[in-house]
Amino acid sequence: MKVVKFGGSSVASATQYKKVASIIAADPERKAVIVSAPGKRHAEDTKTTDLLIRLADSVGERDFNEEAFQGVLARYRDIVEELELDSSLMTEVEGHLHEVISMYRQSKDRLLDGLKASGEDLNAKVMTAYLQSLGRKATYISPKKAGMIVTDEPGNAQILPEAYPEIAKLRDIEGILVIPGFFGYSYEGNIVTFPRGGSDITGSIIAAGLDATEYENFTDVDSIYCVSPKMVDKPRELKELTYREMRELAYSGFSVFHDEALQPVVHKKIPVCVKNTNRPEARGTRIVASRELDGRPVIGIASDEGFCSINMTKYLMNRELGFGRKLLAILEDEGVSYEHTPSGIDNMSVIVRSHQLYNGQEARVLNRIREELQVDELYVERDLAMIMVVGEGMNQTIGIASKATQALAQAGANIKMINQGSSEVSMMFGVNVEDVERAVQSLYHIYFPAEVGQEA
């Protein structure tokens, strides 16, 4: 049995719906279908989730922005009308949005989550109606009925372990199950969404809960590429990569698969196959527990922006017992999660995502470090990008780092930081944002010489 997830662009219009229906029909193993909210139909379009966020922002004590409300309705109306589905569906869509608004009006966070979740919830209902109109046995399953029990943190849900036995019970339901992605229910009874792009996470959880043989993730690219096609023309396509490799690449900018979506399937070693809704015959990329190393130590290069580094020096830091612990405790207290902590004898840096140091947060963190740790020097460096060179074969190959530094030197990129974890599945380089594209292109040329456009 397979779990199939369709991303926003795959369910953005009636035309896309038809492709989805034939993909489901092409393989009887495709049992559970997870849908995103309707995404972009073209480059300038707005995702339904963003329209819903706009609507949530407009909700006041008694009213809301009618234009924002109509904007959301129009997305579903287009699909319902073009597929000639029962018009009562639109009454349901409208009623649902009104109900969420009146239920959560008093709490901004809950309202936002409630409306965001409506995007996938309504799409799952419309998709179910469409499959039924084609004569398929399809059932809409709400995340509540599916047993998607999550933590109660708005916009940042995490699945709870007790959800899995509940999900397993869905196996007994006959026909195709259509489940909205992106959210679950907390014990407090609230709708809680996963982070943005979280329908991937739902798909993975359902795949693990149902013990699926495969989790197919349909999107709008033929495969995962070894580097962003925005930076390199026709980069190498990847046929297969491991969970660890995918995790590293997704963490650092490969947005094709959510970086939190692997955990549920890793445990059960369920393969993930990323495929293209617009070209389902293309082979796609398989993400698996282990793969044959084919003599290529590096499989991909990813980069992500929006980091900053809190740098400090203190004479004899290496002798001071508990310095690192106290530093990290300050960050914990202030609710700042860190990404990396490169250090020297008398210096230490903490790399964090810049958005975490909002408003007064930065001044508070710096003041506490200065006062409680009595550092000699303290400053924040902004506009940093992280480049990740990833590959399972790296730990058996000598000279990977030297090639990288050579490539970065050729690109004229100043290396601010180097970090290699003990697993040696990745090597990370911190550079200035303005250097990142040149740096990635140069790394691509050194690790993938003369292979442009070929498949792995």
Tell me how far, at minimum, the Cβ of 36 lies from ligand ASP, in Å: 3
| Residue 320 neighbours by CB distance under 10 Å | 14
- Is residue 47 a contact residue for ligand ASP (CB under 6 A)? yes
- Shortest distance (Å) from residue 123 CB to ligand ASP: 9
The least distance separating ligand ASP from the CB of residue 115, rounded to whole angstroms, comes to 11
Closest distance between ligand ASP and the C-beta of residue 17, in Å? 16
**Closer Cβ to ligand ASP, 204 or 349, answer by number:** 204
* Minimum CB distance to ligand ASP, residue 67 (Å): 21
Single out the residue of 8, 114, 154, 300 in contact with ligand ASP (rule: CB under 6 A). 8
| DSSP assignments along 284-341, one per residue | -EEEES-----S-S--EEEEEEEEEEEEEE-TTGGG-TTHHHHHHHHHHHTT---SB-
Contact 231, 304 (CB under 8 A): no
Closer Cβ to ligand ASP, 119 or 430, answer by number? 119
CA dist 322 and 448 (Å) reads 44
Closer by beta carbon to ligand ASP, 46 or else 420? 46
Binding mask 181-200 for ligand ASP (x = CB under 6 A): xx-------------xxxxx
Interacting residues with ligand ASP between 199 and 238 (CB under 6 A): 199-200
Between 181 and 235, CB nearer to ligand ASP: 181
Q: Minimum CB separation from ligand ASP for residue 147, in Å?
A: 20
Query: E strands along 42-175, which residues?
Result: 138-140
Question: CA 79 → CA 7, 56, 179, 210, 455, distances in Å?
Answer: 16, 23, 18, 30, 36
CB of 133: closest distance to ligand ASP in angstroms? Answer: 24
The site map against ligand ASP for 100-139 (x = CB under 6 A) is -------------------x--------------------
Distance CA 201, CA 386 (A): 24
Q: Would you say 383 and 433 are in contact if contact means Cβ atoms under 8 Å apart?
A: yes
Burial letters 99-130, b for 16+ CB under 10 A, else e: ebbeebbeeeebbbbbbbbbbbbbbbbbbbbb
Q: Residue 47 Cβ, how far from ligand ASP at the closest point, in Å?
A: 5
Nearest to ligand ASP of 192, 384 (CB atom):
192
Distance CA(328)–CA(341), nearest Å, equals 10
Cβ pair 439, 428 in contact under 8 A: no
Contact flag: residue 36 with ligand ASP (CB under 6 A): yes
Q: Which of 49, 190, 223, 309: binder of ligand ASP (CB under 6 A)?
A: 49
Judge residue 218's burial from the number of C-beta atoms within 10 Å of its C-beta, 0-12 exposed, 13-18 middle, 19 or more buried.
Answer: buried
Number of amino acids touching ligand ASP (CB under 6 A): 13
77: contact with ligand ASP by CB under 6 A: no
Of 8 and 391, which has the nearer Cβ to ligand ASP? 8
Q: Tell me the sheet residues that pair with 33.
A: 4, 178
| One of 3, 20, 23, 37 touching ligand ASP (CB under 6 A) | 37
Whole-number Å distance between alpha carbons of 115 and 100:
7
- 130 or 182: whose CB is closer to ligand ASP? 182
What mask, x for binding ligand ASP by CB under 6 A, covers residues 162 to 181?
Answer: -------------------x
Q: Is the dihedral of CA 277, 278, 281, 283 positive or negative?
A: negative
- Cα distances (Å, whole numbers) of residue 187 to 109, 119, 144: 17, 22, 10
Residue nearest to ligand ASP (CB): 199
Residue ranges that bind ligand ASP, judged by CB under 6 A? 8, 36-37, 47, 49, 119, 181-182, 196-200
